[in-house]
Amino acid sequence: MFAWMREELDRAGETLSRVIGALGEAGADGDGLSGAQARQVLERAGRVRRLADALVVEVTARLAETAGTREVTGMVASVTGTSAGEAERLVSLAGGLARLGPARDALAEGRVSVAQAAVIAETTAAVDDAGGGAGTAVVVETRLVRTAETQGLGVLRREATEARAVVEDPAARARRQRTARSLRCWTDVDGMVAGWFRLPPEGGAEIRAILEDRTRRIYRAAPAGAREPIERYAADALVDLVRAGTDAEREAGVRRDGPSRSSDASTATRATRAGKVAPGIRPVVHIVVDHAALVRGATSDGERCEIPGVGPVDPTWVRQLLGDAFLTLMIRKGRDIRTVAHVGRRVPAELHSALVASGRECDVAGCARASYLELDHCEIDHARGGPTSYQNLTWLCWEHHQRKTRGQARLGPPDPQTGKRPLLPRGAVGRAPPG
Ligand SMILES: [Zn+2]
């Protein structure tokens, strides 16, 4: 069997080399592929790549039976030419293969990628370990495979989070997530300081809201014609916030020790500059919780206790927070927000909260951005008399919102399955009737 396998793989490699060579020659002859043809080639290449990755995972599982994890990870990284992190993911997925059913088949047939299979494997194992039972785990696994085949990684991750939340005890989840918190910094190949962090949703959502709020302010303060990508301003916001925190601490220290000891002029200047960008308003974190869950301090079947756009949180933590000024709490038993409408452009707080609770992701088909979202009058523009109502408002990421408000694109009708809307070039068919 080994000799046959080696020959087949050598042949597959030669086939790929021939295709790559032909593509290069066709380009040089001016006899290249049309856009549609290139897309078809790309789709097939994607499948071949997923299959090759699946083969690496399967063979890694065999390798792990004879060698230690560290050794195997090193081998996978050097043979595939990937980073240590990517190799770790492959090896970890290989270790969980034996527990998988439909996801293993989907991986072997090139229907899902390694990244998708890794999410499914982790979720299925967690559901199983949380006492959901093997039957529940298979149901979850089958559903996630279907999602992976039809939706992007963003949707898959969200469904995976929900599936775990259903079976896992919120207090146990909070404890587990607390031990999983982490922050690392390193110097990258360009000599820049890079970092990675992971925070439990309870505190993480607040940090994210503060960071996003500061980023938006810096973005808006920049001259409109010369704005940089928002990620750069987010980096500036992080620097500002950490410095402002240090300055505040130092000032508190000065006050404690008496003013005579230090009058640091540069600190004062920096504090003023930081203060000009953000006058210290606490951003709002929204939590959606069922009344019964809040009273009980725990969720049961079908009840929600979550931060929209982030994920489920511990109801006991919400109870502790009640009364804190930065928290707005929407109790799902409250009045039906769909009836609230407003004539001005300003979105009333009640309506804003309902829109936050309805899910926070860009409404454009194929876009899964959940940060820097802005509300858009989706059906009828505000300038053309469109009401500020639940039905006429939707979330768009800052980039898509800009393209729409600049008049470069418009939203098509929502897809009946996903509810998302295509972003069409201005003047394309499917135009909303005027008025
Ligand atoms: Zn978007």
- Measured in Å, residue 420 CA sits from the centre of ligand 1 at 11
412 CA distance to ligand 1 middle (Å): 14
Task: Answer for the pair 307, 321: CB distance below 8 angstroms, yes or no.
Answer: no
CA 399–ligand 1 middle distance (angstroms)? 6
Q: Taking 70 as the threshold, does the pLDDT of residue 235 lie above it?
A: yes
Q: Rounded to the nearest whole angstrom, what is the distance from the C-alpha of residue 227 to the centroid of ligand 1?
A: 18
Predicted confidence at residue 185, as pLDDT, reads 86
Q: Using 50, 70 and 90 to split pLDDT, how confident is the model at 268?
A: very low
Q: What per-residue confidence (pLDDT) applies to 408?
A: 83
**Interval between CA 403 and ligand 1 midpoint (Å):** 10
Buried b (16+ CB within 10 A) or exposed e, 412-434: bebeeeeebbbbeeeeeeeeeee
Ligand 1 centroid, distance to 400 Cα (angstroms)? 5
Considering 35-44, 315-324, 335-344, 365-374, the range whose residues carry the highest mean pLDDT is 35-44
pLDDT of 341 over the 70 cut: no
Tokens of 204: 């993480």
393 C-alpha to ligand 1 centroid (Å): 15
* 325 Cα–ligand 1 center, Å: 31
Quote the ligand 1 centre to 225 CA distance (angstroms): 21
- Judged against a pLDDT cut of 50, whether residue 233 lies above it is answered with yes
Residues 44-74 have pLDDT tens digits of: 999 999 999 999 999 999 998 888 888 999 9
Through-space distance between the first and last CA atoms of the chain, rounded to whole angstroms:
70
Distance CA 360, CA 216 (A): 17
**Angstrom distance (rounded) from CA 395 to CA 277:** 25
Tell me which residue of 228, 233, 241, 238 sits closest to 275, measured CA to CA: 241
Rounded distance from Cα 402 to ligand 1 centre (Å): 10
* Residues 140, 163 contacting (CB under 8 angstroms): yes
pLDDT at 269: 39
User: What's the mean per-residue pLDDT of the chain?
Assistant: 81
Q: How far is the CA of 392 from the centre of ligand 1 (A)?
A: 17
User: Could you give the C-alpha distances from 387 to 276, 343, 378, 411, in angstroms and in order?
Assistant: 34, 6, 10, 17
Identify the helix (H) or strand (E) that includes residue 130: none
CA distance 56 to 284: 46
d(CA 311, CA 200): 10
C-alpha 264 – ligand 1 centre gap (Å): 45
pLDDT at 280 over 90: no
- What gap in Å lies between CA 251 and CA 288, rounded to an integer? 37
Confidence of residue 18 (pLDDT cuts 50, 70, 90): very high
For residue 345, what pLDDT is reported? 67
Please give the pLDDT value at position 276.
43
CA of 372 to the centre of ligand 1 (A): 10
Tell me the CA–centroid distance for residue 368 and ligand 1, in Å: 7
Which is more confidently placed, 260 or 45?
45
Whole-number Å distance, alpha carbon 405 to ligand 1 midpoint, is: 13
Cα(399)–Cα(380) distance, rounded to whole angstroms?
20
Q: How many residues does the chain have?
A: 435
Distance between Cα 396 and ligand 1 center (Å): 5
Q: What are phi and psi of 314, to 5 degrees?
A: -75, 120
User: Rounded to the nearest 10 degrees, what angle do helices 153-167 and 133-150 cross at?
Assistant: 160
**Does position 348 have pLDDT exceeding 50, yes or no?**
yes
- DSSP for residue 131: I
Q: Could you tell me the distance, in angstroms and rounded to a whole number, from the CA of residue 319 to the centre of ligand 1?
A: 34
HEC letters along 233-273: HHHHHHHHHHHHHHHHHHHHHHHHHCCCCCCCHHHHHHHHH
Distance 124 CA to ligand 1 centre (A): 30
pLDDT, tens digit, for every residue of 352-386? 777 877 767 888 988 888 878 888 888 888 888 87
* Ligand 1 centroid distance, CA of 408 (Å): 14
Distance from residue 421's CA to the centre of ligand 1 (Å): 10
Q: How much is the pLDDT for 284?
A: 67
The whole model's pTM is what? Answer: 0.61
Q: What is the pLDDT of residue 132?
A: 65
Q: CA distances (Å), 58 to each of 10, 107, 142, 165, in order?
A: 18, 10, 20, 30
DSSP annotation of 337 reads G
pLDDT at 154: 82
> Residue 198: its pLDDT value, please?
93
Q: By three-state DSSP, how is residue 281 classified?
A: coil
- Cα 125 to middle of ligand 1, angstroms: 32
Instruction: Check residue 277 and give its pLDDT.
Output: 41
Token representation of residue 381 = 């523009």
Compute, in angstroms, the gap from residue 353 CA to the centroid of ligand 1: 20
Distance 359 CA to ligand 1 centre (A): 14
Separation of 194 CA from ligand 1 center, angstroms? 26
Burial, 147: exposed, middle or buried (Cβ in 10 Å; 0-12, 13-18, 19+)? buried
Give me the pLDDT at residue 279, please.
46
* Gap from CA of 2 to ligand 1 centroid (Å): 48
Q: How far is the CA of 318 from the centre of ligand 1 (A)?
A: 30
Q: What are the tens digits of pLDDT across the range 71-92?
A: 999 999 999 888 888 888 889 9
- Sign of the Cα torsion 175, 177, 180, 185 reads negative
